[in-house]
Amino acid sequence: MRVADLSDAELRAALQGDGLDIRTGPFACRIRSELPDIADNIGLLYADQPLGQSDEFIDFDVRIAPPRGLRRWWRPQVLFRYDDWVPFKPLPADQAVPMLEWGLNWCVSSHAHQYLILHAAVLEKDGRALIFPAPPGSGKSTLCAALACHGWRLLSDELGLIDLQDGHCHGLARPVNLKNRSIDVLQERLPEAVFSRPFRDTAKGTVALMRPPEESVRRAAEPAMPGWIVSVRYEAGARTHFKACGKGRMFMQVANTAFNYILLAQRGFRSLGQLVRTSDCYELVYSDLDDVLALFDRLEPPETREVAG
Amino acid sequence: MRQRLIRELAVLALRSPECLPGFTPAEWSLLVRQARNSGVLARLQARLEAQGTLQDVPLAARNHLEAARRIADKQMQSARWEIVQIRAALEDSGIPVVLLKGAAYLAAGLPPAIGRMFADIDIMVPETALEQVEKRLMLHGWMAEKLHPYDQRYYREWMHELPPLRHCRRGTVIDVHHGILPRTSRYALDSRLLHEAAVPVGDGSALRMLAPADMVLHSIVHLFCDGEFDRGLRDLYDIDDLIVHFSADPAFPARLADRAIALGIARPLYYALVWRQRLLGKPAHEDLEPAMRAGAPGPVIGLLMSALLERAMLPSHPSCDQAFTGVARNLLYMRGHWLRMPPRLLLPHLWRKAWRGDSEN
């Protein structure tokens, strides 16, 4: 069963009652909320996500709810609750939906230490992972959304999970978080894609969420071998500039943005070393999306080229 | 699942790990969350690992246990480094520095250190040396955080510790104590006695820790006089680990009883032993009887505290709540304040807190 198989009333009843159990990649999440905004957007953005089985292990039990007291009515706010715990300050009620997304990201990045957790967008093609490490504002989400609707499978727009045992990349196939100008750009380019309404004045400016393509959700449990790591920078008016990048430098860039590199200590060092060694590393400066999509279409997987060379 | 069982999953798992293979996935997810909220998730991992049964835990739950242990180990490593830094700041001053709680367990290699979450490092120095210690720590980068003048006064005049000192670069926090109970506490406890009995931690440094009986009593006082029971289970296990460890010396139970009576804190020892038996299933050694008798409350208080602790000692997780759990936690919180200062100080204090409540949070 998928979320879309529930009627609107069933979806709301689950969210308001014992919780809606959904699977996102390797994790089972239980979501509760009485807010209509959350129900509407889960119905919209998580439509293809599989529902959890009954009596399943739940990784993250979260709730989006108004705080007690005055702020329920006066300039209403919402809280993200993880079990009974409130890890963040409240946000204006209008930002409940992005708050759920950020909260679920936080759940993964602060608990799933069986992975090296990269702050990165990750896509897949022919079994190989394409990784765009942060920093935010680099245009990685824009590129990620465009590629996800252009023959690449979305693993995650925000969190790259590297298995510490076998080095494979796992994804979440959750909605893609778009910011500011890239919202209009992508809505125009991708008329078939499904977007949430814009949420204004958040900490990251205006934010909108794009529903992950159906195929990426259906195949969310399939990991990918490392393929390419590309450090991206959007620069208005720039010509596409794509060149190989030193592996040492890439190692440092990814290490600096990973969530639990320091926590994992030696295992993190080894895992990241293996990831960088087995991936081709590039730097990309771009402004023209079409140009970049064509470029990634031509990208060859690391080993094939090694064999050919 | 019966109601009682659900509430006590974390208690049950640590007390009788042999029943874990019968847990359903849903029970495992509740157990993980209860254990995390009461600070015993990494300890559970350590216990199962030591028993060689960790591999039998279903993978999804095991991932959470292992993650908690990784965090605990990392905190332990940072705490070790912090202790080295404290030595560098204070060792040559000749001031006796006593490591408290987690820092002492870690430096002395005591059982509760394994899988224990660390927030800050606690040390105790003689009251007369406070000013010098604060200055020295400041020279080494630890600064008092900006506090409301009232809070400054609260700490410095009434409490048994300085306001927390945060390191300007590492962000780590030291709590510098001069006693284990507030100056204004109901229990007048002369901390000079604790200093006199303190022993070297045994890591080759000049650092000291409380004598075994005092260490157990400190952990007990911290749990049963402070008013916050969110991590009650964690603290109860610390106490249990220490009692078991020190009881390798057969004279220890009698010494613990004598010391509690001598220091005038037999009451908290009584509660600790009662709840150790109720939740962990471990009866008190017969040599502790005199302290149990000396510390037992009257029947009314006894019943009331039983009803309160029965609720508050369980993990702070919705699945553990029963009727009046919130009320019980609030009453114990007020009791903590009541023990902390006499009414002529407490009432104005709570009044100020209530007034400032909103601007602080």
Q: What is the pLDDT of residue A196?
A: 96
Domain B5-356 is of which CATH architecture? 2-Layer Sandwich (3.30)
In sign, the C-alpha dihedral spanning B85, B90, B91, B92 is positive
Q: What is the pLDDT of residue B2?
A: 47
Residue A39 structure tokens: 């129900």
B36 contacts in chain A (CB < 8 Å): 83
- Rounded to a whole number of angstroms, the distance from the CA of B162 to the nearest CA of chain A is 27
Phi, psi (degrees; rounded to nearest 5) at B346: -65, -45
Query: How confident is the model over B164-221, as pLDDT tens digits?
Result: 899 999 889 999 998 888 877 777 788 899 999 999 998 888 999 999 999 999 999 9
CB atoms within 10 A of CB A62: 20
- Residue from the list A57, A111, A112 with its beta carbon closest to the beta carbon of B58: A57
| Cα distance between residue B234 and residue B211, in whole Å | 21
Query: How confident is the model over A126-183, as pLDDT tens digits?
Result: 999 999 997 766 778 899 999 999 999 999 999 999 999 999 999 999 999 999 989 9
- Rounded to a whole number of angstroms, the distance from the CA of B72 to the nearest CA of chain A is 10
DSSP state of B156: I
Q: What's the average model confidence in pLDDT over B286-315?
A: 91
Which residue did the predictor score with more confidence, B145 or B290?
A: B290
B64 contacts in chain A (CB < 8 Å): 59, 111
Phi, psi (degrees; rounded to nearest 5) at B184: -90, 10
Closest CA to A63 of A79, A44, A76, A40: A79
- Rounded to a whole number of angstroms, the distance from the CA of A180 to the nearest CA of chain B is 31
Q: What's the average model confidence in pLDDT over B12-27?
A: 88
* Minimum mean pLDDT range among A162-176, A259-273, B254-268, B313-327: B313-327
- Residue from the list A55, A57, A111 with its beta carbon closest to the beta carbon of B61: A57
- Rounded to a whole number of angstroms, the distance from the CA of A29 to the nearest CA of chain B is 11
Phi, psi (degrees; rounded to nearest 5) at A306: -60, -40
Judged on CB neighbours under 10 Å (0-12, 13-18, 19+), B142 is buried
Interface of B with A (CB under 8 A): 24-26, 28-29, 33, 36-37, 58, 60-61, 63-64, 66-67, 70-71, 74, 316-318
Contact B67 A111 (CB under 8 A): yes
Contact B316 A111 (CB under 8 A): no
Residue A87 CB partners (closer than 8 Å, separation 6+): A80, A103, A106
Taking CA–CA distances from A263, the nearest residue in chain B reads B74
Contact B70 A85 (CB under 8 A): no
Give the ipTM. 0.92
Q: What is the pLDDT of residue A308?
A: 39
Closest CA to B295 of B194, B195, B209, B225: B225
Q: pTM for this one? A: 0.90
- Residue from the list A55, A264, A265 with its beta carbon closest to the beta carbon of B26: A55
Report whether A158 contacts A258 (CB < 8 A). no
Chain A interface, best mutation among B7, B28, B33, B62, by max A CB count within 10 A: B33
Q: What is the pLDDT of residue B360?
A: 40
Q: What is the pLDDT of residue B337?
A: 81
Q: What is the pLDDT of residue B359?
A: 42
* Minimum mean pLDDT range among A2-6, A221-225, B317-321, B349-353: B349-353
In sign, the C-alpha dihedral spanning A278, A284, A289, A294 is negative
Closest CA to A227 of A304, A150, A171, A154: A304
Query: How confident is the model over B80-117, as pLDDT tens digits?
Result: 999 999 999 998 899 999 999 999 999 999 999 999 88
First to last CA, chain B: 39
- Residue from the list A28, A58, A112 with its beta carbon closest to the beta carbon of B67: A112
Percent of chain B residues topping a pLDDT of 90: 58
Q: What's the average model confidence in pLDDT over B150-172?
A: 84
Q: What is the mean pLDDT of chain B?
A: 89
- Rounded to a whole number of angstroms, the distance from the CA of B65 to the nearest CA of chain A is 10
SS (H, E, C) chain A: CEHHHCCHHHHHHHHHCCCEEEEECCEEEEEEECCHHHHHHHHHHCCCCEECCCCCCCCEEEEEECCCCHHHCCCCEEEEEECCECCCCCEEHHHHHHHHHHHHHHHHHHHCCCEEEEEEEEEEECCEEEEEECCCCCCHHHHHHHHHCCCCEEEECCEEEEECCCCCEECCCCCEEEECHHHHHHHHHCCCCCECCCEEEECCEEEEEECCCHHHHHCCCCCEEEEEEEEEEECCCCCCEEEECCHHHHHHHHHHHCCCHHHHHHHHHHHHHHHHHHCEEEEEEECCHHHHHHHHHCCCCHHHHHHHC
Residue B115 CB partners (closer than 8 Å, separation 6+): B42, B43, B44, B45, B46, B47, B68, B69, B72
Is the bond into A135 cis (omega within 30 degrees of 0)? yes
Q: Are strands A20-24 and A27-33 parallel, antiparallel or unpaired?
A: antiparallel
Residue B269 CB partners (closer than 8 Å, separation 6+): B217, B220, B256, B257, B260, B288, B291, B292, B295
Which residue did the predictor score with more confidence, B227 or B301?
A: B301
- Residue from the list A84, A111, A263 with its beta carbon closest to the beta carbon of B64: A111
Residues of chain A with pLDDT under 50: 306-309
Report long-range pairs for B354-358 (Cβ below 8 Å, ≥24 apart): B356/B148, B356/B150
**Hey, which residues does A243 pair with through a beta bridge?**
A283
